[in-house]
Amino acid sequence: MMEIQIRLNPNLYIKDPEQSELGRNIIKHSIEMIHDVGFESFTFKKLAANINTTEASVYRYFENKHRLLSYIINWYWTWMEYQFSFYTGTVKDPVQNINALISLLVFELDDQFISAHINKDKLYNIVTSESNKLYFTHHVEEDNKARMFKPYKDLCHRISQLFNTYNAKYRFAHSLASTLVETAHHQLFFAHYLPSLTDFDKRKIKTELKSFLSHMAFSMLDSKY
Amino acid sequence: MMEIQIRLNPNLYIKDPEQSELGRNIIKHSIEMIHDVGFESFTFKKLAANINTTEASVYRYFENKHRLLSYIINWYWTWMEYQFSFYTGTVKDPVQNINALISLLVFELDDQFISAHINKDKLYNIVTSESNKLYFTHHVEEDNKARMFKPYKDLCHRISQLFNTYNAKYRFAHSLASTLVETAHHQLFFAHYLPSLTDFDKRKIKTELKSFLSHMAFSMLDSKY
DNA sequence: CATAGACAATAGTATTGCTATCATTAATGA
DNA sequence: TCATTAATGATAGCAATACTATTGTCTATG
């Protein structure tokens, strides 16, 4: 196990939550609460009550709850990129690496990194159901300029490079990368809540989802079309 | 051109907006406003001011703005299914039908249906950027029980049937259907606002997106994996 | 020991989301 | 034609949300 210090873009916060007990508590309990009640009904007031501090104190760390969500989800993507490097850095076979990536996307790889105050299972759930809300807004462009999506874009870029080591001529490496990542989350969510949109059996979701995703990746990468 | 009367699930509204001038005005201007300012900063108060009525009157039609968005987006999916039937009903070749579907998804087919008070281009934009918000909530399950996603699920189901006429043995027809639909919207949005997540040239987005989508559909349907 | 920084405590404001009441007008039909 | 009902307008109000500002205490550091 390795200790990681994930440093995120200072645009995401007013005061770095990693640098204080209260800050770490804010992160920890935000994850719990957003997971439990959903992002829409999560408020700073409720959070403050939950961790026995005041609304004003939370506002010293984050401009608003949207930024807090950004912080959490950026943490996730950064951490994913660490893991991606960890698993694909040494292995030279792109097929194996693509399969490792897919296991990573469905959250089935052993995690090598420690992070005391973050519940990763809940974090994964939050990312699955809330991450779209970060960019589907009227202020995407400003947020993008402020580098709020950098970790996500970086990860997708690395995935697209992996695709190109598998097939140097592939023309849709970036689109396939982002589609694969999005699809992993969406199909998992659908399998759970809107199962008629999928072909997966609830008992073996992850296995079947992985086979769908690798079917997708390799079919497309090998395609004659 | 044909006149259509799209009748939607009464769970979506309190009073049917199609049945009155004010109701149709609410729909019309909601589409305008959500398109222009985004769903988060759209409020019933602003809408009321815009169409010279009162907040209370709007509440007589829709329980809240989330339901209004549901109504609008369900209208879209129902209309899409009409068009899908229209274009694929007579042609017998599944390849042609899949290509027609893809043109439909990127909004490039001539529309056969009239609807005076609905700006379809803006509607398409809204669906692209806001539709995920309908199901990524903590109340998906209740909403699903109230049949709020039926038009979307119906369309996906018909698409999956089309895939099975092309390849009767294909195991992922439903997942491919929902993935294709979602991907069409996401990639279009990305191409516009987060282009590094795609491989498309802004000048020819639709052409290239269509080729990506048909590459995806046929690669997967013909796959050996 | 002074001082700066972190936080708690409290208060206050504008906006949002929603409900209730009552008056006015338009449509329907007895 | 009158009575009734439905639809809307006008207005009020309330609880929750999303913030901002001020003041005081405590604590670590220099």
pLDDT in tens, A60-111: 999 999 999 999 999 999 999 999 999 998 878 999 999 999 999 999 988 8
Q: How high does pLDDT run on average in chain A?
A: 95
Interface of B with A in 22-51 (CB under 8 A): 37-38, 40-41
Q: Indicate whether B8 belongs to any domain.
A: no
pLDDT in tens, chain B (225 residues): 677 778 899 999 999 999 999 999 999 999 999 999 999 999 999 999 999 999 999 999 999 999 999 999 999 999 999 999 999 988 789 999 999 999 999 999 888 787 878 999 999 999 999 999 999 999 999 999 999 999 999 999 999 999 999 999 999 999 999 999 999 999 999 999 999 999 999 999 999 999 999 999 999 999 987
Q: Does B169 touch chain A (CB under 8 A)?
A: no
Q: Indicate whether B66 belongs to any domain.
A: no
Q: Indicate whether B5 belongs to any domain.
A: no
Find all residues with CB under 8 Å of B216, minimum gap 6, and list them. Answer: A179, A216, A220, B179, B180, B183
Q: Indicate whether B192 belongs to any domain.
A: yes
Are A214 and B197 in contact (CB < 8 Å)? no
If you measure CA to CA, which chain B residue comes closest to A176?
Answer: B198
Q: Indicate whether B147 belongs to any domain.
A: yes
H helical segments located in A137-204: 140-145, 150-166, 173-193
A113's enclosing H/E stretch is: strand A113-114
Q: Which two tokens stand for residue A223?
A: 């395609």
Which pLDDT score is estimated for B164? 97
CATH number at residue A45: 1.10.357.10
Q: Indicate whether B63 belongs to any domain.
A: no
What backbone phi and psi angles, to 5 degrees, belong to B44?
-65, -35
Q: How many CB atoms lie within 10 A of CB A107?
A: 19
Q: Which domain holds residue A48?
A: 8-221
What backbone phi and psi angles, to 5 degrees, belong to A113?
-120, 145
Task: From A209, A225, A223, select the one nearest A108 (Cα to Cα).
Answer: A209
B59's enclosing H/E stretch is: helix B55-59
Q: Does A84 touch chain B (CB under 8 A)?
A: no
Residue in this structure with the two tokens 């040494």, named with its chain if needed: A90
Structural domain total, chain A: 1
Q: Does B174 touch chain A (CB under 8 A)?
A: yes
Find all residues with CB under 8 Å of B69, minimum gap 6, and list them. Answer: B34, B39, B126, B130, B133, B134
**Sign of the Cα pseudo-torsion (A141, A147, A148, A149, in order):** positive
Q: Indicate whether A150 belongs to any domain.
A: yes
Q: Does A177 touch chain B (CB under 8 A)?
A: yes
Are A225 and B212 in contact (CB < 8 Å)? no
What Å distances lie between residue B65 and A124, B30, B45, CA to CA? 28, 9, 11
What backbone phi and psi angles, to 5 degrees, belong to B146?
-80, 10
The pTM of this model reads: 0.95
Q: Indicate whether A3 belongs to any domain.
A: no
B3's enclosing H/E stretch is: strand B2-3
Following CA atoms B182, B186, B198, B194 in sequence, which dihedral angle do they give, to the nearest 10 degrees? -160
pLDDT in tens, B102-132: 999 999 988 878 787 899 999 999 999 999 9
Residues with CB under 7 A from strand D: A 41, 43-46, 55-56, 59, 63-66; B 15, 20-23, 52-57, 60
What backbone phi and psi angles, to 5 degrees, belong to A156?
-60, -35
